[in-house]
């Protein structure tokens, strides 16, 4: 039974970020119950609004990463806009930004300036290379962190250039670390009464993700380097991707028990007792032979036949699914990972939600991402501004609202 209120109820977050890593941090905080205020620049807004997939002028990219937030569009280069945002920071708990280090200090919105206004503020900075170091002032995106970290060099065929990751691994991994760090800092604030500056770097996160390659190199005194190995992991035989008559599947039989079951299935006692493959060390020494034996078995069967046979033998396996297949997967459906939202222009749409599941609380039911400046009046009013003051700031361009939205109201 759900008994507890949302975990971050009462926490106010200023999302002064754009594109992906920062917005993902605040999106997760919104799902955990925080009030998140998305701050955007006049007229253009978050650059993510111009990122595909587009339908009827709406960016699905922006809708996904900014659901559950309120929209404030303010010109902070105007003294009135800067003062409004500082007032908001005085009454907020978290500030999330992902600009190049030093950019917000020039605007008067850096950590030191806002911490003077509100010492309890938890200020989370997400950048390509972090707030310190020789590369800190370099512009960067997730692609650069994935390349520099050595991660990209592990993907693809050994005789070809590395392959592009088609998911934003660096941004999402850094965003997840940002969420964890913010929650930890909020917990620590209960003891100290003081917030702090969190410094998250995409590059740091990608290097920290290495589960094997780093120690493979360092513990061998630099004599060993993990190389691209295509569809298989030769240091974890048998663990890889296999072709079938009508598609592909993955098999994870790298531990002795699973290999024994797989060997018995495809080769009987002779293969199960073959000393070349009996232990992990021996399998790795004869990795290519093990792969060829399994490929010969999968390539003459359909994916469905392979999976059904492997499942009966209790060998870990899964199909390589398309996006459409993944979204239709009963497991995903049962986990409620897709949520339905009613968009004022698009009508009913489906969006993936964040993967939080708690026994006594429920993730927030998130509203549609805000139109540009949609909640200007509500937020300014909550800070004590009168209707006349709000109207004057709107008239002078200090507060900006999407004209289409204005027409609707």
pLDDT, tens only, 98-136: 999 999 999 999 999 999 999 999 999 999 999 999 999
% of residues, the chain, pLDDT over 70: 98
All CATH 3.40.50.10540 domain ranges in the chain, comma separated = 12-208+335-408
Backbone angles phi, psi at 94, to 5 degrees: -135, 140
pTM value > 0.75: yes
Decide if pLDDT at 86 tops 60. yes
pLDDT band, very low/low/confident/very high, at 365 (cuts 50, 70, 90):
confident
Residue % of the chain over a pLDDT of 90 = 95
Averaged pLDDT, 309-337:
96
- Return the CATH superfamily for domain 239-326: formyl-coa transferase, domain 3 (3.30.1540.10)
pLDDT higher than threshold 50 for residue 188: yes
Instruction: Give the model's pLDDT for residue 408.
Output: 42
Residue 220 has pLDDT above 70, yes or no: yes
Task: Place 3 in a pLDDT band, splitting at 50, 70 and 90.
Answer: confident
Q: Where in the chain is the domain with CATH 3.30.1540.10?
A: 239-326
Residue 405, pLDDT score: 66
The pLDDT assigned to 2 comes to: 63
For domain 12-208+335-408, say whether CATH 1.20.1560.10 is its number.
no
pLDDT of 362 reads 79
Average pLDDT for residues 72-81, to the nearest whole number? 98
pLDDT digits (tens, 9 = 90+) for 142-169: 999 999 999 999 999 999 999 999 999 9
3-state secondary structure the chain: CCCCCCCCCCCEEEEECCCCHHHHHHHHHHHCCCEEEEEECCCCCCHHHHCCCEECCEEHHHHHHCCCEEEEEECCCCHHHHHHHHHHHHCCCEEEECCCCCHHHHHCCCHHHHHHHCCCCEEEEEECCCCCCCCCCCCCCHHHHHHHCCCHHHCCCCCCCCCCCCCCHHHHHHHHHHHHHHHHHHHHHHHHCCCCEEEEEHHHHHHHHCCCHHHHHHCCCCCCCCCCCCCECCCCCCEEEEEECCEEEEEECCCHHHHHHHHHHHHHHHHHCCCCCCCHHHHHHCHHHHHHHHHHHHCCCCHHHHHHHHHHCCCCEEECCCHHHHHHCHHHHHCCCEEEEEECCCEEEEEECCCCCCCCCCCCCCCCCCCCCCCHHHHHHHCCCCHHHHHHHHHCCCECCCHHHHHHC
- Average pLDDT (73-87) is 98
Find out whether 373 and 38 touch, Cβ atoms under 8 Å: no
């Amino acid at each position: 039974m759900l008994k507890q209120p949302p975990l971050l109820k009462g926490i106010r977050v200023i999302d002064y970020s754009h594109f992906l890593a920062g917005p993902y941090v605040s999106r997760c905080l919104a799902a955990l119950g925080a009030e998140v205020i998305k701050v955007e620049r006049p007229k253009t807004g978050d650059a993510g609004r111009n990122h595909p997939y587009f339908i009827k002028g709406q960016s699905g990219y922006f809708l996904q990463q900014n659901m559950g937030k309120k929209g404030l569009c303010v010109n902070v280069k105007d003294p009135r806009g800067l003062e409004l945002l500082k007032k908001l920071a005085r009454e907020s708990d978290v500030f999330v930004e992902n600009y190049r280090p030093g950019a917000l200090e020039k605007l008067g919105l850096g950590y030191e300036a806002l911490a003077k206004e509100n010492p309890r503020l938890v200020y989370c900075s997400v950048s390509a290379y972090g707030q310190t170091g020789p590369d800190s002032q370099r512009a960067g995106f997730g692609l650069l962190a994935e390349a520099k970290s050595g991660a990209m060099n592990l993907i693809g065929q050994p005789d070809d250039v590395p392959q592009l990751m088609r998911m934003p691994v660096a941004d999402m991994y850094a965003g997840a670390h940002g969420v964890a760090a913010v929650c930890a800092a909020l917990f620590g604030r209960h003891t100290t009464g003081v917030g702090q500056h969190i410094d998250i770097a995409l590059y740091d996160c990608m290097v920290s993700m290495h589960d094997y390659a780093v120690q493979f190199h360092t513990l061998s005194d630099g004599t060993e380097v993990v190389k691209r190995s295509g569809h298989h992991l030769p240091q974890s035989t048998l663990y890889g991707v296999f072709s079938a008559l009508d598609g592909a599947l993955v098999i994870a039989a790298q531990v002795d028990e699973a290999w024994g079951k797989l060997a018995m299935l495809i080769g009987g006692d002779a293969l199960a007792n073959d000393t070349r493959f009996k232990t992990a060390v021996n399998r790795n020494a004869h990795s290519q032979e093990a792969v060829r034996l399994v490929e010969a078995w999968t390539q003459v069967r359909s994916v469905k036949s392979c999976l059904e046979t492997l499942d009966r033998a209790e060998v870990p396996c899964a199909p390589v699914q398309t996006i459409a297949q993944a979204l239709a997967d009963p497991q995903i459906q049962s986990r409620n990972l897709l949520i339905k939202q009613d968009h004022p222009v698009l009508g009913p749409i489906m969006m993936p939600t964040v993967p939080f599941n708690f026994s006594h609380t429920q993730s927030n039911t998130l509203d549609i991402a805000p139109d540009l400046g949609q909640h200007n009046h509500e937020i300014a009013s909550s800070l004590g501004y009168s209707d006349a003051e709000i109207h004057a700031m709107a008239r002078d361009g200090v507060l900006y609202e999407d004209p289409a939205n204005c027409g609707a109201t």
